[in-house]
Structure 1
Amino acid sequence: MIVKNESAVIERLMKSVLPIIDSYCICDTGSTDNTVELIETFFKDNNIPGLVVSEPFQNFGYNRTFALQQCYNLENADYLLLLDADMVLEISPGFSIPDFKSSLTKDAYHIFQGSNAFFYKNVRILKNNPVFSYWGVTHEYVKTLPTSLYGDIEKTQLFINDIGDGGSKTNKFLRDIELLTKGLEELPNNDRYMFYLANSYKDSCQYEKAIETYKKRIEIGGWIEETWYSFYCIGKCYKELRQMEHAVFYWLEGYQHFQERIENLYEIIHYYRIIGKNSIAYMYYELADYIRQKYTSTDHLFYQKDVYDYKLDYEFSIIGYYCNRHNKDVTSSSMKALSHPSVDEDTQKNILSNYKFYAIPLKGLAEPNENIPLLTNFSTFIDKNEFVSSTPSIVLDTNSTKKNIIVNTRFVNYRIGNNGAYINKDKIITKNIMSVFDIEAKNWVKITEFELKYDAGYDNHYVGLEDVRLFSKNGQLQYNANRGLSYDHMVIENGTINLKSNMTLSSLVKKNSQRNIEKNWVLFRDHRNETKMIYEWHPLTVGTHRDHPEKLIDGNNKPITQFHPTDFIKTPSFFKWVRGSTNGVNIGNEIWFICHVVSYEDRRYYYHILVVLDNKSYEVLRYSKLFTFEKEKVEYTLGFIYFESRASFLIGYSVMDRETKYIDVPKVKLESLF
C-alpha cells in the first residue's frame, strides 16, 4: 500500500484488516501530517510487525512496485493484501480466516471492490514473488507472468468497500489526466491509458473531450468490456450535454457490440419513460429483462448492480400500467424495488403512490362464510343516528371449554369526507361493543353482547378507548388500545377485560423517549408462552410490559406501567412505514401479523402486509406483497383468527371508518401473497 496524508482515514482501514494480516509494509510518498506515526503506533499496540518505507511519488505504477519490492524479505508474508487507505475490508461473519489462508495456492486472487450498488473485481491478493510488479502511470494493474494462475474470492466472503475519501483525492482527476496524457506520449494508442483518460475527462465534466477520447478507445478495439463501457459513457456524456438523440444512438451501439449488459438499455428505458413514450420504453424493458434473466454473471467491468437488482423493476412498476402485453405481475416488481436495501426514500414513496393501481384486493381470495352477517349486525346498544360501525377486533376465547370467539366492534361519531379529511364533532367519541359467539356448530350463535365499561377518568376531547386490540392467553382476555389524553397527546392503554362485570382493569404504558403520539403497539405470545409487545417495526423493537421501576402514579392516581425493550431486529428499510394492525396469531413455530402502510398523497391510501416472525428469535421469516381488502382508500384491521381445523383465517376490517366487514380466506391463498 502507498499513502500520503491519510491521517483522517488510515485507522479505519487498519482496524478492518487487523483480523486477517500477520505483518505490514506501507510506502509513504511524502506525508506532511501524522499518517506514519498513526500507522506505526497502531500496529505496535496490536503486536503486528512490519515497516513503513519512504519514497517520493513519481507515478502509481512506480511507487506501488517499489512498495511490493520492500515486502520480499518480510517474515510471515507469503501473500500480500493490496489495499488503499480509503478502503475498508469487509469480512463476512463466520468466515474462517485460518482455513482461508491455508487454501491460498495460486499466484493472484481477485476481490470485488466498490459499493453494494456498483462494483467490479480487481487483483487484491498477490503471492509475494519478486517477479510481480505494477504497470501504468495511474489506474495501474498488477503485472504477473503469462503462466500465473488466478483465483476469484466470492463477494459473500470478502469485499472491499471502496469509500474513496482519501487524503489525495482532491485533485485526482486533473492529476490523472496529466499522468495519462504523458503516458500516451510515450505509448500512443495504449488502450488502458486511452480508456482511463476518457474516464477522467468524464469525471471532471469535460464531456466533449471525454466523447472524443472514448471514440479513440473504441477504434483501438480489444477488451469488449472496455469498448462496451466506452459506448455507454459516450451516451452518458451526451445525456449531460442534453443531446439525447446522440445518447440513445450510442447506447444502442453499445448493445450492438455486447448484448450481455443492460445498463445502456436501462438508460434508454428511463429516458423514454420520463418523456411519456411508454410503448418504446416497454419495448426496451422486455429486451433488458430478457438479458437480465439469460446472463446472470456479475463479473463485469464497473458493474452497476442496482440497475439489475431493482432499478429496472422500478421502471416497470410505472411502465407496466400502460404496457404489459404478457400480464406480468407488476406487484412483484414493485415489491422487489420497494424492499431493496439500496433504494432511496423518494423512489420508495413513488412506488407506494403507484401501487394503488396494482394492489391485490384480498376480498377476491375470500371463501363464502354464511356466519359473517351475524358478526356485522348493528348493536341495539348504539344510536344509529349518532354512530357508525368501524373496525372490529376478534380473538379465540381461551377461557371457554366450548369453541367461542370474542369480538369487539368499534363505533365512532365522526366521518371521513370524500377528500379523506375527518369530519369531527365537538368530541371524538368511541363506543366499544363486546360480543361472544359460540362457533361449535355450523351455524354460529351469539351468546352475549354488552357495551364495554372502562375508566372514564381520562376522557377529554377524546372519549373512550380507540382501536381496541383483543388478545387472549391462558384464559385471560387482554387488550391494547389507543388513549387520547389531549389533542396532540396519545398513549397506549393495556389491560384486561372481565366478561362477567363487562369492565376493564387497565394502566397507561410509558416508554423511555416516548413520542407525543403513540399508537399501534401490538401483542404476541412467544415460544415460552410469554406475552411480548412490539413497539415499532424498523428496527423491529420487541419488549416486555412491566411495572414501572420508579413506581410512577399518573394524575388519576393510577400506577403507570412501562414498556421495556429487549430485542432490536433488522428489517427492510420500507418497514419504517410499517405499523402494527393486529396482535400476533400463533401457527406452529410462526407468529402471523397483519400490519399496514399509509401512502400520504393528496389523501391517505392504506395498504396491508402480512408479516411472519419466528416465535423464538423474533426474526422476520417472510412478508407478503402489499394488498388491500377491497381497494378502498381507507381500510383498517385490528384482529384476525386462524381456524386450524380448516386452515383458514377470519379477518375483520373496516372501510372508510364507517363499515364493519369480515372475510374468510384460506391459508393457502394468503400464502400466495408471499
Structure 2
Amino acid sequence: MNNIMMTKTKKVKKVPKPTSVTLCMIVKNESHIIKECLESMIPYIDRYDITDTGSTDGTPELIKEFMDEYGVPGEVYLSDWKGFGDSAKNIGSRTEALNNAKEKADYAWMIDADDFMTGNFEYPSEMKEDAYSIRLGREDFVWWRNQIFRLESNWHYVGILHEYAACEKENPIVGRMGGEYKVTARTLGARNVGISTQEKYKRDAEELEDALYNENSPNYDPNNSRYVFYLAQSYFDSQQYEKSLESYGKRAEMGGWEEEVYYSLYRVAMITAVLDKPWEEIQQAFLDAYDSRPIRAEPLYQIARLYRQVHNKPRLGYIFAKMAMEIQYPQQDILFISDEVYKYQLLDEIGATAWAAGKPHVGYAACKRLIEENLVPDNERERISNNLKQYEQLLSQMHSEQAQNHVAQRMAEKTAQEKEKKKNKEKRKNRTKGSTKTSSPKNRKKRKNK
C-alpha cells in the first residue's frame, strides 16, 4: 500500500456577510510579515486576489501555501512596480490590483501587508454602497479610509504617495463599517525594512518636493493640497520641524477639506511647542486650531496639559480641561483622531488639576471613573489609583471637619436659643412685676381720690 499523507485544511470561523469579498493587496518582499496579516483577515473574505510587484523572497509562494492551508481560493498575479497611484504614464499598482480582482467577487477589501485586524468586525446585513470606509489606527490615534470597494463601480487610485481611491461615478455612495474593531497600521512592511523611520520619511519628502516644485517632473502638480499636507507630514516624521511648520501653514492657507485644514493648524501648534516658542504663541496656535474645528477637543487638552506640566498652573489647566470635557467624541470625523484624549486623558487631566482648582469632588469622580471603568493603560493605573486615594483622604477629612463644624454650629445655635429664651423669660417676668405694681390697692386709692 502506498504511504499517502493527507493534508488537513485548517478551520476558521467565518464572519457572515451578505455578499462576496476578495482580499486585494499589492505586495513585494513581505515574507516576514504577510502571514500575520492574512491570518487576521481570513474570517472576513471568500477569496484573495493579490498582485506581487517583484518579490525575491518567495512571498507569492508563501501566500498560496498559507491560503491553501485554510482552504481559501485565489490567485497571486505577478507584475512590475508601477507606483502606488495612477500617473500620466500608466495606471498604478493599486489600480492594477483592483482590476485583477474584477469579476472575482462583488467587493474587494484593499489592505497593506503589515496591517493587522483586531476586535470584532461584523458586516452589515446588506451591502449596496460603492465603497465602505474602515477604522485604522496607530499608536494613540485613529482614522478612517475607504478600503472595501464595489468592483463594478470602477475605482482607481490617485497620487504618487499617500494615494487615495477615486471612483468613475460622479457621486459614489460611501458607507462606514462600524463596530468594535481596528485595523492596526504597523509600518512593518518592506518599505520599512533596513531603513530608519526618519530616513524613510525623508525620502518621501523628496519625492513630494519633486512633484510640487520641479516643473520638469512628470508628476508636477504645484497646487495639489494633498501633496502639501503629506509633505508637511513627511517633514514632521523625519524631524525636519521648521520645514514641517512652513508646509503645514501653507496647507492651512490653501483651504479646502476642513479636517485637513484643522489638523494642519493643530500640527502647527504642536511644532510650535516642540520648538519651544513663546507660550503666548503656542497657546494662540492651539486656540486657532480649536477655532477652526470646535468639535475637536485635542487642542484644548494640549493647552490644559501644558499649563499643568510645563507652566505649573494647574488651576488654569483645569479650566481648559473642563472646556474640552464638554466636547463629545467626533463621530463624523475621519482624520487622525486622538482616541486616548477622549477615552481617558481628559479625565486624567481633570483628576490631576481639580485638587489645585478647589474641586476635590470633581477630581475624585474623574479618578474613580478611570479606575472603575478600566479606562487607563496598565502603566498609568497605579498613579491614578494613588490620586484617587489622596482625594478620598481629602474628602474624608473635609467631611469630618464639616461634621465637626456642623456640631459646633448646632451647639452655638442651641446656646444662642437658650440665651434668647432666658432673655425673653426675664422680659416677661419684668412685665409681670410692673403690672402687679400698677394694680395695687394703694395705687387704686390714689386714682380714686383724684
Taking structure 1 as the reference length, the TM-score comes to 0.50
The change in CA–CA distance for 1:285 and 1:362 in structure 2 (over 3 A counts) is closer
Q: Which ranges in structure 1 are unaligned for 5 or more consecutive residues? A: 367-674
- Amino acid aligned to 1:262: A
The percent identity for this pair of structures is 34
Structure 2 counterpart SS, 1:124: strand
Which of 339, 357, 365 is matched with 1:332 structurally? 365
Q: What residue is the counterpart of 1:311 in the other structure?
A: 345
1:360 Cα deviation from its structure 2 partner:
6.4
Residue 349 of structure 2 corresponds to residue 321 of structure 1: no
Structure 2 counterpart SS, 1:90: strand
The change in CA–CA distance for 1:341 and 1:55 in structure 2 (over 3 A counts) is farther
Which of 194, 198, 204 is matched with 1:176 structurally? 204
Residue 176 of structure 2 corresponds to residue 143 of structure 1: no
- Amino acid aligned to 2:255: G
Counterparts of 1:656-667 in structure 2, within 5 Å, are: none
Structure 1 counterpart SS, 2:184: strand
Residue 26 of structure 2 corresponds to residue 2 of structure 1: yes
- Amino acid aligned to 2:367: S
Q: What residue is the counterpart of 1:599 in the other structure?
A: none
- Amino acid aligned to 1:70: N
The change in CA–CA distance for 1:159 and 1:307 in structure 2 (over 3 A counts) is same
Q: What residue is the counterpart of 1:255 in the other structure?
A: 290
1:341 Cα deviation from its structure 2 partner:
5.6
- Amino acid aligned to 1:72: K
1:151 Cα deviation from its structure 2 partner:
0.8
CA distance in 1, matches of 2:374, 2:77: 41
Residue 80 of structure 2 corresponds to residue 56 of structure 1: yes
CA distance in 1, matches of 2:71, 2:116: 20
Which one has a larger percent strand, Structure 1 or Structure 2?
Answer: 1
Counterparts of 1:466-545 in structure 2, within 5 Å, are: none
1:233 Cα deviation from its structure 2 partner:
0.7
Decide whether the 8 Å contact of 1:116 with 1:342 is kept in 2: no
CA distance in 1, matches of 2:394, 2:226: 56
Which one has a larger percent helix, Structure 1 or Structure 2?
Answer: 2
Structure 1 counterpart SS, 2:390: coil
Which of 292, 296, 308 is matched with 1:273 structurally? 308
The change in CA–CA distance for 1:130 and 1:344 in structure 2 (over 3 A counts) is closer
CA distance in 1, matches of 2:54, 2:369: 48
Counterparts of 1:111-510 in structure 2, within 5 Å, are: 111-115=134-138, 117-129=140-152, 131-144=154-167, 145-156=169-180, 158-169=181-192, 170=195, 171-185=199-213, 186-245=220-279, 246-274=281-309, 275-292=311-328, 297=331, 299-324=333-358, 328-338=361-371, 343-359=376-392
Structure 1 counterpart SS, 2:152: coil
- Cα distance per residue 1:328-351 (max 9 Å; x no partner): 521221133345667344532322
CA distance in 2, matches of 1:116, 1:152: 22
Structure 2 counterpart SS, 1:358: helix
Decide whether the 8 Å contact of 1:90 with 1:160 is kept in 2: yes
Residue 43 of structure 2 corresponds to residue 19 of structure 1: yes
The change in CA–CA distance for 1:92 and 1:41 in structure 2 (over 3 A counts) is same
Report how many residues are paired.
Answer: 355
Decide whether the 8 Å contact of 2:37 with 2:117 is kept in 1: yes
CA distance in 1, matches of 2:396, 2:284: 48
- Amino acid aligned to 2:331: S
Which shifted more, 104-113 or 25-34? 25-34
CA distance in 1, matches of 2:138, 2:318: 29
1:195 Cα deviation from its structure 2 partner:
0.6
Q: Which has the higher contact order (CA 8 A, sep 6+)?
A: 2
Structure 1 counterpart SS, 2:117: strand
- Amino acid aligned to 1:136: G
Q: What residue is the counterpart of 1:65 in the other structure?
A: 95
The change in CA–CA distance for 1:299 and 1:258 in structure 2 (over 3 A counts) is closer
- Cα distance per residue 1:208-249 (max 9 Å; x no partner): 000010011011101111111111111111222222523322
Residue 48 of structure 2 corresponds to residue 34 of structure 1: no
